[in-house]
Amino acid sequence: MTAVSEEVHVRSAPRRPGVSAKLRRVGVQVLAAAALLAVWQLASGRIIDELYVSSPKAVTERLIELLRNGQLLPNAWVTFSQSGLGFLVGMIAGVVVGNLMGTVHVVGRVVSPYVTFFYTMPRIAIAPLFVIWLGVDFSFKAAFVAFVVVFIFITPTYAGLSSMDPDLANGIKVMGAGRWKVIRMAIFPQQVLWITTTIKLALPTAIATDITAEFVASHSGLGFMMNDAAGILDTASLLAEVVFISIVVTAALGIVSLVEHRWFRWRAAG
């Protein structure tokens, strides 16, 4: 009986893709990107006016130029530091409020409509209010990002706690565990998945929100550079800055995915 169950377990276990399959997938992705860039390069200046789409060659040259002349990195530091601080504050506040709503049901029922109301407010419309309250300095962008991010974290945290199986926590309580042990053994492991998934959604939103705030009022940052480039129809600079932002955010999301993978593999081994 044991041998049969072991055979069934082995057959039902998901197979991981081999090295050759991964290399083929990466190869297809590289070829698709190369084909897209080639079509863009050929179409630019021939089929489509280069003023509107520039070209991969011009964008790459402009990106290198912006890195060499010292314009890109200082402004990137301004944008990423503002959005990073706002993201961190919003994430912590959102997880705390979401846990409070999920564990204290009265709070959840009372606060939930207000969370929905503030979450659906048009962000670009309320950005000038933050300018009036805080000015155009660092605090304005960080506070604006935190305001947007906090509601992104509240909703999944609250929904995840509300949908969690109560028998799991009750079973741990029966064995004599206190409240903090229930949180550590039952609630926290479940929340890691919700939080890491929400981070992947909230991190690009935080960057986009900060750039939007820099469009509204700023004297530095990537949003300021992009707004300046758009004003003089410098498509190459605009696209170079967009590509740089996408590379940085993609790398950050890759780190989050790696940490998430390591965490769940450690939990499975434990």
| Residues 161, 98 contacting (CB under 8 angstroms) | yes
Enter the tokens of residue 139: 């605090």
Residue 201 has pLDDT above 50, yes or no: yes
Q: Which has the closest alpha carbon to 217: 120, 151, 133, 147?
A: 133
Residues near 88 by Cβ (< 8 Å), separated by ≥ 6? none
pLDDT score of 3: 45
Q: Which residues contact 53 (CB under 8 A, 6 or more apart)?
A: 40, 43, 44, 235
Give the pLDDT score at 50: 80
Q: What is the mean pLDDT of residues 78-85?
A: 94
Residue identified by tokens 């993609």 is 250
Residue 89 lies in a domain: yes
- Which residues, 6 or more positions from 194, have their beta carbon under 8 angstroms from its beta carbon? 156, 157, 160
Q: CB-based burial of residue 215 (10 Å sphere; 0-12 exposed, 13-18 middle, 19+ buried)?
A: middle
- What confidence score (pLDDT) does residue 164 get? 63
pLDDT on residue 7: 44
Dist. CA 228–CA 118, nearest whole Å? 31
**Is 116 inside any structural domain?**
yes
Whether residue 251 is contained in a domain is answered as yes
Q: What per-residue confidence (pLDDT) applies to 82?
A: 94
pTM of the model: 0.80
pLDDT at 22: 78
In a domain, 238, yes or no: yes
* pLDDT(200) > 50: yes
Across the chain, mean pLDDT equals: 82
Among 148, 96, 87, residue whose Cα is nearest residue 122:
148
Identify the pLDDT of residue 129.
87
Res. 247: pLDDT tops 70: yes
Model confidence at 179, in pLDDT bands (50, 70, 90)?
Answer: low
What gap in Å lies between CA 240 and CA 127, rounded to an integer? 26
At 222, which CATH number?
A: 1.10.3720.10
Number of domains in the chain: 1
Domain with 191, as residue range(s), is 62-269
Measured from the Cβ of residue 198, the count of other Cβ atoms closer than 10 Å reads: 23
pLDDT digits (tens, 9 = 90+) for 112-139: 889 889 888 888 888 888 888 888 888 8
Whether the predicted pLDDT of 234 surpasses 50: yes
Reported confidence tier of residue 2, pLDDT bands at 50, 70, 90: very low
Q: Tell whether 19 is covered by a domain.
A: no
In a domain, 168, yes or no: yes
Cα within 13 Å of Cα(140), Cβ side:
23
Q: Return phi, psi of residue 44, to 5°.
A: -70, 125
Query: Does a structural domain hold residue 49?
Result: no
165 assigned to some structural domain: yes
Per-residue confidence band for 9, with pLDDT thresholds at 50, 70 and 90:
very low
The one-letter amino acid at 238: L
pLDDT at 180: 60
